[in-house]
Copies of this chain bind each other. A is one copy, B any other.
Amino acid sequence: MKVLIVLAHPEPKSLTTALFNVTVDELEKLGHEVKTTDLYALNWKSAIDGADFPEFHQDKERLVITNESGKAYHEHKLTKDVLEEQAKLEWADMLILQFPLWWFTMPAILKGWVDRVFSFGLGYGVGYSAEKPHGTRYGEGSFKGKRAMLSVTIGGPASNYKEMGVNGDIFHILWPINHGVLFYPGFDVLEPFTVYRTNKFTEEDFEKASKELRERLKHLETEKPIPFRSQNGGDYDLHSLELKPDVISPEEKGLGLRIHLKEQSN
C-alpha cells in the first residue's frame, strides 16, 4: 500500500513526532511505500488567500474562493506546494493525519493543509448531476477507494472523552474531521488511533502506545472502516439531505451531546 502521512507538530522530539516515526518505521517494515508531509518543517502556509491562485488579481477582483479554487484546480494552476500535496494524495492508497488535539480539533497548520489542498473540484464541488444535486460526497468523491485514519495525541485522560465525558465523547469530537473532512471526499475512514494523558506520559506509556500502534498498523488494509452512511445510498432524502424517518427516529437519536445542557429547549 502507498501511505501518505501528514505530520503537524513543531517539535521533532515530541511524542506526536515519535509516534509518527514509529508509524513510518513500521509501515516500511511491513513493505508499504511511505511518503510524508512534515508541515512545520515545510513552513506550510496555513491561511488560504488570493496568493493561492496565481491567476487571480486582488486589486482588480473580489476573491470568491470556491470560484478561484475551482478554476485554478481545473487548469492545474495552483501554487507548487499545493500541487505537490495533491499529487501525493493521488499517489496514496491511504492517508494518515498525525497530530496533537489542540482545542478539540486540528492544529491550525493542519487545518491550513486541508483548507488549501482540498480544492473545489477535488475535495468538494465534485460530481453534480440531476440525480445527485448535492454532488458526490460522503462515501463518494475524489478519494473514493482510498483509506484514511487519524492518529491523535490527546492531553487529557480518556474518561473525559468517554460516552458521558465532559469534553464530549471522542466520536463526536472527531466527527467534523472523520466525517466532514475525510468521509466527505470519499475516503473509507478507519477508527482513529488515540493516545490519551499525553501531558503525563512516561517512557513506559510510550512503549505501550508504540506497541499498540504497531499492532494497528499491521491491519490497515483489512480493518473495517467506520460504517458511515453514504449520502447518495438511499438513507438520506436526496433534496434536504436529512436522514429519512424510516431509517432512524429522532427518539433514537436522543440527546447526543445535548446531555451536557442543564435544560433542553423546544
Which chain A residues have a beta carbon within 8 Å of chain B's beta carbons? 10-11, 13-14, 39-40, 44, 46-50, 62-66, 102-109, 111-112, 114-115, 118, 134, 138, 155, 157, 159-160, 162-169, 171-173, 175-176, 179-181, 184, 199, 226-229, 231, 235-236, 239-243, 247-248, 250-263
Say which residue of B46, B155, B172, B226 sits within 8 Å of A112 (CB atoms): B46
Q: Assuming the A-B contacts A179-B260, A241-B159, A256-B254, are A111 and B118 also in contact, with contact meaning beta carbons closer than 8 angstroms in the complex?
A: no
User: Which 10 interchain pairs have the tightest Cβ spacing?
Assistant: A254-B254, A256-B256, A108-B112, A46-B46, A104-B180, A159-B240, A10-B49, A104-B176, A108-B111, A11-B63
Q: Assuming the A-B contacts A242-B166, A260-B228, A261-B229, are A47 and B176 also in contact, with contact meaning beta carbons closer than 8 angstroms in the complex?
A: no
Residue contact B47 to A109, C-beta cutoff 8 Å: yes
Q: A104 contacts which chain B residues (CB < 8 A)?
A: 176, 180-181
Residue contact B103 to A115, C-beta cutoff 8 Å: yes
Q: A180 contacts which chain B residues (CB < 8 A)?
A: 103-105, 167-168, 173
Q: A263 to B225, alpha carbons, bound, how many Å?
A: 12
Q: A83 to B202, alpha carbons, bound, how many Å?
A: 33
Q: A241 contacts which chain B residues (CB < 8 A)?
A: 157, 159-160, 165-167
Say which residue of B66, B105, B160, B168 sits within 8 Å of A105 (CB atoms): B105
Residue contact A252 to B253, C-beta cutoff 8 Å: no
Q: A250 to B252, alpha carbons, bound, how many Å?
A: 12
Residue contact B108 to A227, C-beta cutoff 8 Å: no
Known A165-B243, A166-B236; further 19 A-B contacts with Cβ < 8 A: A10-B65, A14-B64, A40-B49, A46-B109, A103-B176, A103-B180, A103-B181, A107-B111, A108-B111, A134-B160, A160-B240, A160-B241, A171-B256, A172-B256, A228-B262, A229-B262, A254-B254, A255-B256, A256-B257
List, sorted by A's number, 30 A–B pairs whose CB atoms are closer than 8 Å. Answer: A11-B50, A11-B64, A14-B62, A46-B112, A47-B109, A47-B112, A48-B108, A66-B155, A102-B115, A103-B176, A104-B180, A105-B180, A106-B111, A108-B109, A108-B114, A108-B115, A109-B112, A163-B253, A164-B248, A164-B250, A165-B242, A166-B236, A166-B242, A167-B241, A171-B256, A173-B180, A175-B257, A228-B262, A252-B255, A252-B259
